[in-house]
A and B are shown apart, each in its own frame.
Chain A
Amino acid sequence: MATTTTAEETTTARPKPPRKQKVATPKPPWWLWVAVAGIVVFCLAPFYWLINISLKTGPDLSGADIVPPNPTLNNYDSIFKNDDFVHALGNSAIVSLTTTALALVVGSFCAYALARLKFPLKFFLLGLVLSITTFPPIAIATPVFKLWTDIGLFNTLPGLIIPYLTFALPLAIYILVSFFKEIPKDLEEAALVDGATRFQAFRKVVIPLAAPGLATAGILTFISAWNEFLFAVTLTSTPKARTVPAAIAFFTGSTEFEEPLGTIAAASVVISIPLIFLVLFFQKRIVAGLTAGAVKG
């Protein structure tokens, strides 16, 4: 199948096509500029609107001005004074980082065995890992909700981290397997010839070489944990354990029925910033990870 090899082939093939096309079409057609402009507007304009709203307060919020008439950072000020939001940021950081770390450590062992070692039921295990990435989280949240209320893990951070592994671990394993497979076997074999054990070869040779793959898997796992919403709202009930996505969903104003759109917009911009930086710095890595076996992040 062509897609199976996209991850490896794109990295080697990527520099080629642009060079070829430069020769074939020296001048870009006008429609291409229109299309590129269209893509940029499609992707960025809605986000601009969010920033626009976040800079408005009071009466400005009842008009649809494209540029805030009296831009102000008051909304940003107020969300950082909102204890629930600040607490949620901390919760999100703890939950996402812990999930990512656990998934990477446990997942890298499993991925190495899947990529390199010979053992029975390997095909079955890969199929299992792959099928778990397609589980609807609601099917896990319902029984876990009941279980956590029984054993006291409901509305706690460990109560979130454990179910987060259902998507984080298979995601990490799947990405890591394809990266481990790309590492040349010779280096490992040389280490084995020099008297290293298989595990030493894994730890001292493969892991350092797989650093880019580990980074990719880490970034994608972190983003999906940071984004997770279903467990975050079903398994928590108060700001004590709520993560940022849940906090933003439950944001209410001074009265219960008023939705403070300016503050919500500011909070939304703030939590998007770390992700936009990740995308700016690791664009290549993220794309490679997404296209490695077409894993959704």
Chain B
Amino acid sequence: MEAASVQAGTPTGRRSRGISERRLAAYMVSPSVILIALVAAYPIGYAIWLSLHEYSVRVAGLSRWAGPLGLRNYSNIFSDTEFWQAVRTTFIFTAASVTFEVIIGMAMALAMHSAFRGQGLLRTVVLVPWAVLTVVTARMWQTIFDPTLGIVNSILGTDTVWLGQSPEALIVMIIADVWKTAPFMALLLLAGLQVIPGEIYEAAKVDGATTWQRFRKITLPLLMPALLVALIFRTLDALRIFDLPFVLTKGAHGTNTLSLEAYQTFTANNIIGKGAALAVVTFIIVMAVSFIYIRFVGGNIRGLAEE
């Protein structure tokens, strides 16, 4: 970094006219900082404030400090079976969908990497699920698993009401998510595969390593950083899932996730304080995972921040 900044600093630093570099940076950064503070930081702070108060939309303007230490909303949540149900659903959904996405995404990436013709075309095909809106994805799987006009029942010869019973509804939700995001995983892993120099494989081949050995000892370790980033990205996304259960089941039959539970609490039931507390709990869970993520890609930020 030292060398780089010295090298860059000599011609630019002295010759720049007008305002100083620091001040220019302040001018250029401040619109974004102000906007971020307004649209992200302020609402989070307000959510915490709301979560410590009892507030009802039904009686306009009625707001008071909630319970012991203002924590009644939180104690209400933690004694609520629906909350724990939502936590359970969210974590099962996250674990299952991310696991399948890694496996399928990895298989797709390896195949795409070996396919030497039509790579561009394959990449376009793979981007289709990524580009299809989540709401459309949900509607699509709804038609596929529809009891009468869906293809699944017609192939299996059953008349299961997939989205109307308990484990099945969550399974459909996981399938829909895997379909939509495994290709995204594949693209991230493919980018990781493409930076592994081919010479390593040739050397291993000469040494008599089998395909599996080459995958285990070369591909996997070298792909690890890309895999970790993709994994954490998907985990964060899956923990926030909202649109799939909203459209598929409205949260019925064991598909109510944390985000959806919070939404229902503050819109349908008009309990703002408790809804805000649920939102804050979701925020804390996601940020805890995201903290791990930032630690992993911390090097990435540092790289971007360097001259």
Contact = CB atoms under 8 A, between A and B. Distances in A.
B243 A229 contact: yes
B106 interface: no
A7 to B, nearest CB: 8
Interface centre among B119, B143, B229 (most CB of A within 10 A): B143
Contact of A142 (B50, B230, B287): B50
Interface in B261-281: 262-263, 266-267, 272, 275-276, 278-280
Nearest to A288: B191
Contact of B240 (A53, A115, A137): A137
Interface in B109-125: 111-120, 122-125
Contacts of A226: 133
Interface string B146-160: 101111011000000
A3 to B, nearest CB: 5
B144 interface: yes
Contacts of A293: 297, 300, 304
Interface string B125-136: 111111111111
Contacts of A113: 24-25, 28-29
A14 B282 contact: no
A147 B43 contact: yes
A106 B150 CA distance: 46
B299 interface: yes
A268 B263 CA distance: 24
Given A3-B226, A135-B283, A193 B11 contact: yes
Interface residues of B, number: 127
B126 A39 contact: yes
Nearest to A265: B143
Given A36-B115, A43-B129, A144 B194 contact: no
A103 B26 CA distance: 18
Contact of B11 (A132, A189, A195): A189
A2 B262 contact: no
Interface in A127-173: 127-132, 134-147, 149, 162-163, 165-166, 169-170, 173
Contact of B141 (A1, A36, A46): A46
B32 A173 contact: yes
Contacts of A248: 133, 135-136, 139, 247
A217 interface: no
Nearest to A251: B139
A19 to B, nearest CB: 9
Interface string B20-35: 0110111111011101
- B-side binding surface: helix, strand, loop or mixed? helix
A249 B128 contact: no
Given A3-B300, A4-B300, A245-B135, A198 B240 contact: no
A120 B23 CA distance: 11
A118 B9 CA distance: 9
A231 to B, nearest CB: 10
Nearest to B7: A185
Nearest to B146: A261
B305 A170 contact: no
A112 to B, nearest CB: 6
A125 B29 contact: yes
B246 interface: yes
B171 interface: no
A283 interface: yes
Contact of B290 (A115, A118, A131, A181): A131
- Of the listed residues B114, B140, B187, B302, the one surrounded by the most CB atoms of chain A closer than 10 A to its CB is B140
Given A109-B28, A276-B131, A283 B149 contact: no
Which 9 pairs between the two chains have the least Cβ-Cβ distance? Answer: A64-B154, A110-B32, A35-B111, A119-B25, A139-B283, A143-B46, A134-B290, A109-B28, A117-B25
17 contacts: A4-B300, A43-B125, A46-B140, A66-B151, A118-B307, A134-B236, A136-B283, A137-B259, A138-B282, A139-B43, A139-B280, A198-B24, A234-B263, A248-B136, A278-B131, A284-B120, A294-B233
Interface of B: 5, 8-9, 11-12, 15-18, 21-22, 24-29, 31-33, 35-36, 38-40, 43-44, 46-47, 50, 55, 57, 104, 107-108, 111-120, 122-136, 139-144, 146, 148-151, 153-154, 179, 182-184, 187-188, 191-192, 194-195, 198, 202, 222, 225-226, 229-230, 233, 236-237, 239-240, 242-243, 246-247, 258-259, 262-263, 266-267, 272, 275-276, 278-280, 282-283, 286-287, 290, 293-294, 297, 299-305, 307
Interface of A: 1-6, 9-10, 13-14, 16-18, 20-22, 24, 28, 32, 35-36, 38-40, 42-44, 46-47, 49-50, 53, 56, 61-64, 66, 106-107, 109-110, 112-115, 117-120, 122-123, 125-132, 134-147, 149, 162-163, 165-166, 169-170, 173, 177-178, 181, 185, 188-189, 192-193, 195, 197-199, 223, 226-227, 229-230, 233-234, 244-245, 248-249, 261, 264-265, 268, 271-272, 275-276, 278-280, 283-284, 286-287, 290-291, 293-294, 296-297
Given A47-B129, A271-B136, 12 more contacts: A2-B222, A113-B28, A114-B29, A119-B26, A127-B294, A134-B236, A135-B44, A192-B11, A229-B246, A234-B267, A268-B135, A279-B128
